[in-house]
Structure 1
Amino acid sequence: MKTAVGIGAAALVAFASALAFAPRTPPPLAPTTIGVERSHFNTVTQVGDRLLAAGALGGILYSDDKGVTWTSAKLSQDRQALLVSIAFAPDKKTGFAVGHEGWMLRTKDAGSTWEEVAFSKENGEPLMSIARLPSGDWISVGAFGRAITSKDNGQTWGPLTLPAEVEDKHMNRIASTEDGKNWLIVGERGLVIKSTDSGETWQIEPEFYNGSFYNAMSTREGGWLIYGMRGNAFVQTAPGEQWIKSTIQAPISFFGHAQEKDGTIVLVGQGSMLGMSKDGGKTFTLQRAKGRATLTDIVLTGPDSGWISSDAGLQPFPPSQAKAAASADQGAKQ
């Protein structure tokens, strides 16, 4: 009896071994997804009907269905450096992404694929913002006074001439009016550089604040709103007018903005806080989106819809939609 059991057990082991090593076609694997509600994103933007988001580890995602699904773009080099800013030409096909270690990428197909233009692991100052001037030239600015320009659609880059007072200050963002005539570059230690001739020449704005500015936007009233750290924001009702400090009830640092059709300005910042202004940026009320993340950017896709990027992923806007979608599993196909 024992012999029979031993023979049976040996046969079972032999069968299992044969099955384990027998050639067979494995079942297809489920698509790998990136949880866009968990990843770190620094920017989200819209180009035509396409949404794009970028951030940590050099990832760029795009969505052609208003954020229902997200797809990873193909990059020629996987540097895993932090990406900060994306901008596109009027053709909505050609665009650039910039970030840390001087990393610059270019796309010619609206963001599906990206080729590396520049990268410097050693002494590569971060590039923080990029924009296309009405002339067709591209400009990019960043840390330690770095400012570059390209006159051949990004093939080659050289120094951008800015006032000497810039020195080694960090420059955080480039902004323009809708017509492209007036431009601002804002940065640390109250740095504001302006151009009133479509970016041909630049002048330093007299200092009115000594802290860091993170972003700027033109207002529908024809002026500017500049904002940054600890709830400091300033409005200029028209070019050349005095800068007036905005009223914000808490020292919230803000990093991104959008403007709704009714004129409401929305700022996004630390602690999942939103700043809402209905008077052109003079006063702001505060709301909270879901979680306690640092909100980095916002894009509006319709009258009552949009997306917010953060260091804890992407979430829908407005906050009521964000709460309703908190359990939704938004994934990015690879």
Structure 2
Amino acid sequence: MFSDLVQCLTHASGKALATGLTRVLLSSIALLSPAAFAGWQDPLNTPALQTERAHETLLLDVVRADQRLVAVGGHGHVVYSDDDGSTWRQGKVPVSVTLVAAYFPSGDFGWAVGHDGVILRTTDGGKNWAKQFDGYQANDEIVAAATRTKERAQAQLDAAETAGDDVAIEDAEMALEAATYALQDAEYDKSTGSTKPFMDVWFYDAKRGFAVGAYGMFFATENGGESWEDVSSRLPNPDRLHLNAITPVGAHSLVVVGEMGMILRSDDLGQTWHQLESPYDGSLFGLLAQGSHQLLFGLRGHVYNSTDGGISWNELSTGSEQTLLSGVIGHKHTLLVGNGGSVVVFDSALNNPVSTILEGRKAYAAVAEASDGNYVIVGEAGVKRLNAAGEMIDQSISMAAGDF
């Protein structure tokens, strides 16, 4: 299925996107004959297959929903566990696209996002999911926003010409040119279909939340996801760099990290944003915050420590060059996980990193702390469990008996 091929390629390195290759492939697909798509089913309208091996397939995020653990991943799979990751059940999902990230502001209410611009919501802790939004709607919203921006730029140019202000005219002409290009890009993206993935989602409460993704996608909701608005114009991201993660760093402060070392910060719950100086010019995949202490991580094992809320950074030597994709601050230790079976364990003060490589060297995309003090990690080998020292626990993991 061509959609699956695109999704696999865009996930070639954990949450990293093979941007150029994806665009080339999409252009090639557009030239294929209709016969090539015979029997194709739109994964946005095809429910995820129920399988007793869902916990062993590709999973890309795992999060806490109170005491429950919920993991999401390939083919629309969502699995959840109420016994610290030993036994899992599969949720009912109305799509079969790859799900990349999830977030629960409470035990019942949660959201998941993924490929083809999909946003799902659950109101029962991950058992049942409903589609709220997809890439087709995202394209419409982006085109509408770009059209409004171009109209404003044209109005500013008209006003400047009426006033005879040469400086204002030059500025307005540049703004109109940029807006015209942005609208053309949005219209082109719309013509290729629902191709752009969301990479992360975060909610302040059951009403207010954000979803971030590829090509600078940044959407907000004020009504629990009943409607989503393209608010990418709030970000200083004119090149539409990929946005990989969004993280709270204070009561009303958020940080978005992404491609080319991008670090954006808001101190008014996402209304306005400014760019921070970055210690690294490669892709960043996440940030962990504990008070004024932060850990920033990304490509090739780069990890940076800040003790002043992200104003200054010091690089930490982890002894590994494996890309790090996710992490969690636990009660006793902080863990980062990534490609090649890489696990980096920090002490309670987010210092003294110790790097290990798990047997099998599989890529792991996310980690969550279970209520028993151990950790659950997910990735290309499905679900695994680690102890507090980051060592694999030799314990059977299964789907609940009688579910299939």
Q: Calculate the TM-score normalised by the size of structure 2.
A: 0.68
**Rg: which structure is higher?**
1
Corresponding position of 2:131: 116
- Contact 1:42-1:84 at 8 Å conserved across structures: yes
1:239-282 CA distance string (max 9 Å, x none): 253121121212111111122323x2211111112111227445
**Structure 1 residue runs of 4+, over 6 Å off?**
none
**Equivalent residue letter for 2:241:** K
Corresponding position of 2:179: none
**Equivalent residue letter for 2:244:** N
Counterpart selection for 1:58 from 54, 60, 76:
76
- Contact 2:200-2:245 at 8 Å conserved across structures: yes
Is 1:171 the counterpart of 2:243? The answer is: yes
- Contact 2:343-2:390 at 8 Å conserved across structures: no
Corresponding position of 1:74: 92
Structure 1 segment 247-262 matched on structure 2, within 5 A: 247-262=317-332
**Equivalent residue letter for 2:304:** F
**Equivalent residue letter for 2:243:** M
- Contact 1:133-1:180 at 8 Å conserved across structures: no
Corresponding position of 2:398: 330
Structure 1 segment 145-160 matched on structure 2, within 5 A: 145-160=216-231
Corresponding position of 1:245: 315
CA distance in 2, matches of 1:166, 1:301: 40
Structure 1 segment 311-326 matched on structure 2, within 5 A: 311-318=380-387, 322-325=392-395
CA distance in 2, matches of 1:233, 1:71: 35
Is 1:302 the counterpart of 2:368? The answer is: no
Counterpart selection for 1:47 from 59, 65, 74:
65
1:141-172 CA distance string (max 9 Å, x none): 00001100011110011112433335310000
CA distance in 1, matches of 2:255, 2:244: 11
Corresponding position of 1:8: none
CA distance in 2, matches of 1:66, 1:282: 27
Corresponding position of 2:304: 234
Closer/same/farther in 2, CA of residues 193 and 135 from structure 1, 3 Å limit = farther
Q: 2:53 aligns to what SS in structure 1?
A: strand
**Which has the larger displacement, 124-133 or 234-243?**
234-243
- Contact 2:54-2:79 at 8 Å conserved across structures: no
Identity fraction in percent: 24
Corresponding position of 2:120: 105
- Contact 1:247-1:282 at 8 Å conserved across structures: no
CA distance in 1, matches of 2:289, 2:399: 34
**Which has the larger displacement, 245-254 or 94-103?**
245-254
**Equivalent residue letter for 2:63:** T
Closer/same/farther in 2, CA of residues 303 and 261 from structure 1, 3 Å limit = farther
For structure 1, the 5+ residue unaligned runs are: 1-30
CA distance in 1, matches of 2:351, 2:70: 31
1:196-244 CA distance string (max 9 Å, x none): 2333321111243210001111035x22211001011112211253121
Corresponding position of 2:338: 269
Q: 1:180 aligns to what SS in structure 2?
A: coil
Is 1:219 the counterpart of 2:290? The answer is: yes
Counterpart selection for 1:33 from 52, 74, 78:
52
Is 1:87 the counterpart of 2:94? The answer is: no
Corresponding position of 1:181: 252
Q: Residue 119 of structure 1: CA displacement?
A: 2.4
Q: 2:220 aligns to what SS in structure 1?
A: strand
Corresponding position of 1:203: 274
Structure 1 segment 134-149 matched on structure 2, within 5 A: 136-149=207-220
Q: Residue 120 of structure 1: CA displacement?
A: 3.0
Corresponding position of 1:131: 202
CA distance in 1, matches of 2:313, 2:390: 34
Corresponding position of 2:355: 286
CA distance in 2, matches of 1:303, 1:51: 12
CA distance in 2, matches of 1:56, 1:288: 24
**Equivalent residue letter for 2:86:** V
Whose helix proportion is higher, 1 or 2? 2
CA distance in 1, matches of 2:205, 2:100: 22
Whose strand proportion is higher, 1 or 2? 1
Closer/same/farther in 2, CA of residues 304 and 65 from structure 1, 3 Å limit = closer
**Equivalent residue letter for 1:169:** L
**Equivalent residue letter for 1:124:** T
Output the aligned Cα RMSD. 2.2
Closer/same/farther in 2, CA of residues 57 and 174 from structure 1, 3 Å limit = same
**Equivalent residue letter for 2:58:** H
CA distance in 2, matches of 1:32, 1:145: 34
